[in-house]
Amino acid sequence: MSGLNGSLSIALSALSVSQQALATTSNNVANANTPGFSRQRPVLAAGDPVVVGSLTFGTGVVLQKIESLRDPILEIQLNQETQQQSKLDTSLGQLRQIQTQFGSASSGIGADISNFFNSLQQLAPDPSNLALRQSVLTAAGNLATDLNNTAHSLQTQRSNLDLNIVQSVGQVNTLTAQIASVDRQISSLENAHQDASSLVDTRTNLIRQLSGLVDVAVIPTDQGISLALSNGTTLVSGSQSFALSAQLGSDGVQHILAGGQDITGSLKGGSLAGLIQIRDQEIPGLASSLDQLAAGLANALNTANKTGFDLNGNAGGNLFAPPPVGGVGAAATLRVSITDPALIAASSDGTTGSNGNLAALSAVHDQAVANGQTPLDFYSNIVFQVGIATSNTSADVDSSNLILQQLQDQRGSLSGVSLDEEAANLIKYQTAYQAAARVVSTVNTLLDVAVNLGK
């Protein structure tokens, strides 16, 4: 293979490899801003040598492969942190929405409780005054309305979460179907020993999106990959995807089913888990606390009102419509049952000027009405719980964001396209091409000399 023809063939291999290397470089430059793209580099090797007698001649350069630079372990970490981060971020958004209901100390349920008991105190110096009695009823009405509104807002938020969950399940199914389809293409390319790196990038990107929704783990198999949730549910196996479904449960909320099995409670990461946690734990917990407060207050005040006499000298009745037995729904349905201010039982002996029973009504302020706590202690504890849940989640989101950012930096340092580097490569391969072309032209001149040798 030595000789001028050999040199020509070597130069040709150099021309061809340089062109391919240039193509890789331009592909990198083109995809510098493509999300999830891993930079590629040509792997060059010297051609198999030819031995002639005692001499060994090189045969030029070959392009072994175009390799994508990515770290599978890093991708797994990124997936896991994405799951954690999107669960926390989703929870935080919902918690922030919840806590607006409990935001101000000078308005809202807490202030309503204070104002109601204060209105009772105001009535004490002049118990037969109808204007003062009316302000007691107004304060009681405000308390009931604010409890109603807060309970309704929580309920509305819960219904919206339900819608969100159904939409997220749809997104999961779209993504798993896409992943399965990409996986099929990758398998067929790889079986034909062709390069599938850009499809692998697409798949990695899709899996990252899926990680934003559910706690999916990637398991490499002989036929591509399989995807499973941490509870064992398979979402993608080989080129087949298995859809999740959402179904209205007997408890009135949407449940997530995988092959007939309810997996609602076992999702650990991704925004879906965050949505479910708020819908099934935070909001019901809060709603039940509000019910406890509303029922406790209404029952205690009704009892106290019945021990006295109203302005007409009749025995007192209920101040609030009796809350449902067991208290469920008490906050949403609480209402003042009397409209006539004369019916407030301020008197302890039936005379119009007596304020003796106001003391009994006022005493509810310091009575254990819910969970062994006074109304206001119980309420301020709710405020504390809402606040601490939000601030803890917020801190968790911050740290998760930092970790994610670091992982993305790491990924970028390995897989990201550097334009400086690509520019340098461009010069390198351009020069190599120019040099090889020069060799061709030199060989051509020499061949010309050889051809015209006999003339």
Partner 1 sequence: MRVNPNPMPDLLAALNQAKLESQQASIEIASGRSVNEPSDNPTAAALLVENNDQATFNSGYLQSLNSVQGQFSTADSTLSSVVTALQRAISLGVEGANGTLSDSDRGAVATELQGIQSQLVSLANTSYQGRYVFAGTTTNTPPFVVDNTVASGVRYAGNSGVNQVSIGSGYKLAVNLPGSQLFSAAGNDVFLAINTLIQALQTNTGIDTAVSGVGAASSYLSAQRVFYGNALNQSQSQTTYLNTAKLQISQQENTLGGADLAAAATNVSQAAIDTQATLAAISKLSQNNLFDYLK
Site of interaction with partner 1 (CB under 8 A): 95-96, 99-100, 102-103, 105-106, 110-111, 113-115, 117-118, 121-122, 124-129, 347, 349, 351-356, 359, 362, 376-377, 379-381, 383-388, 390-391, 394, 401, 405, 408-410, 412-414, 416-421, 423-424, 426-427
CB nearer to partner 1: give 9 or 129.
Answer: 129
Cβ at position 349, least distance to partner 1 in Å: 6
Assess contact for 237 and 226: CB atoms under 8 A. yes
Nearer to partner 1, 303 or 401 (CB): 401
Report which of 397, 376, 324 is spatially closest to residue 113, judged by C-alpha positions: 376
Q: Which CB, 130 or 450, lies closer to partner 1?
A: 130
Backbone angles phi, psi at 257, to 5 degrees: -115, 140
Shortest distance, position 35 Cβ to partner 1, whole Å: 11
Chain-centre distance for alpha carbon 79: 12
Give me the least distance between CB of 450 and partner 1, in Å please: 39
Burial class from Cβ neighbours inside 10 Å (0-12, 13-18, 19+) for residue 450 reads exposed
Could you tell me which of 359, 364, 379 has the C-alpha nearest to residue 320?
364
Q: What DSSP character marks residue 378?
A: H
- Minimum distance, C-beta of residue 108 to partner 1, in the bound complex (Å): 9
CB of residue 41 to partner 1, shortest distance in Å:
12
Q: Report the alpha-carbon distance of residue 192 to residue 183 in Å, rounded.
A: 14
Query: Length of the chain in residues, anyone?
Result: 455
Chain centroid to CA 104: how far?
Answer: 28
Alpha carbon distance 315, 204 (integer Å) = 75
Q: Which is nearer to partner 1, 116 or 320 (CB)?
A: 116
Question: By the 8 A CB rule, do 75 and 204 touch?
Answer: yes
Strand spans (E) along 83-224: 216-220
DSSP state of 315: B
Q: Whose Cβ is closer to partner 1: residue 6's or residue 416's?
A: 416
Whether 216 and 225 have beta carbons less than 8 Å apart is answered as no
| CB nearer partner 1, residue 305 or residue 362 | 362
CB of 106 to partner 1, least distance (A): 6
Nearer to partner 1, 227 or 346 (CB): 346
Instruction: Let me know the angle formed at the C-alpha of 89 by 83 and 91, rounded to the nearest 5 degrees.
Output: 105
To partner 1, the closest distance from the beta carbon of 405 in angstroms equals 6
In the complex with partner 1, the residue whose CB is nearer, 20 or 118, is 118
Minimum Å gap between C-beta 391 and partner 1 is: 4
